[in-house]
Amino acid sequence: MFHGSIVALVTPFKNGVVDESALAGLVEFHLRAGTHGIVPCGTTGESATLTDVEHRRVIEVVVEAAARRVPVIAGSGSNNTEEAIALTRHAKKAGADGALLISPYYNKPTQEGLYQHYRAIARSVDLPLLLYNIPSRTGVNILPETVARLTAFRNIVGIKEGTGSLQQASDIMQACGDRITLLSGDDFTALPLMSIGGKGVISVTANIVPAEMAAMIAAAEKGDYAEAARLHYRIYPLHTAMFLETNPAPVKAALALMGKCSNAVRLPLCGLSDENAAKLQSTLTAFGLLPASRRRK
């Protein structure tokens, strides 16, 4: 159902509020470049610092701008199960094609607690659901055996696997087979995961090079791993640049240099240090995303 290069879309701000015009413009940028799907209100979309009203509105704007041309997978997770259910219900009502559900953070639930959390959402909302596992952010790992248990629910269709571990990804595929769609949640491992049965990536880097990320995943889907590897190593320095500091500060700074939106992030995140801003600009220039003569102001 979901595959390819799916962008973890930033949420642009202007004067402290969501810049809906820039947001719709980013969606159009991705549609023209061949991105296969869009995730609003994920980690890269700064969901943690959006108000409930903003969160819902961002999903509505993206769904409207996409106009069914590619799937929209709305970030609707929470560490509060009832809130996750409410946000997922809204995503369905807004016309999203699916929902991405971050595992509960801070609470540190047991594996049984994780199972019960996702079970409650799956039973409450008839919408295709993707689990989102990123222990470095949440403090808890959804183990492969728990993923396998959750495949009993027909609307739990995939997982964004963000551990960066090929062993864990392999364990998931061995336990679940074709009952789950495996998507990389870590740009560095997008291509390796394709080789073990993954179907694509939910990508930060795709925010700035959507065509190249889409081409890499498409090459892997066709079995042309030589071309996919060439593109992987071409894009690889950008992956590093996108994580010079906490995501999404670097990707927003890059988009600002490219003239796509403001570089504003919400506290407690902040803008890049001068040192890392210079490294970012150098990487973007070397890739060809900025004129060689441009200087950071």
List the catalytic residues. 132, 160
Spell out where 67-108 has E strands: 73-75, 98-102
DSSP state string for 35-59: --EEE-SSTTTTGGGS-HHHHHHHH
- How far apart are alpha carbons 144 and 161 in whole angstroms? 10
Please confirm whether the linkage preceding 268 is cis (ω < 30° from 0).
yes
Residues 130/160, Cβ–Cβ less than 8 Å: yes
What would you report as the CA-atom Rg of the chain, rounded to the nearest whole angstrom?
A: 18
DSSP state of 292: T
164 sits in the region (left: phi over 0; alpha: psi -120 to 50; else beta) called: left
Tokens 């949640």 -> residue: 185
- How far apart are alpha carbons 232 and 255 in whole angstroms? 21
Q: Extract the tokens encoding 282.
A: 């150098």
Tokens 């071309």 -> residue: 227
Let me know how many helices (H) and strands (E) the chain has, helices first.
Answer: 12, 10
Burial class of residue 197, CB neighbours in 10 A (0-12, 13-18, 19+): middle
Residues 71/95, Cβ–Cβ less than 8 Å: no
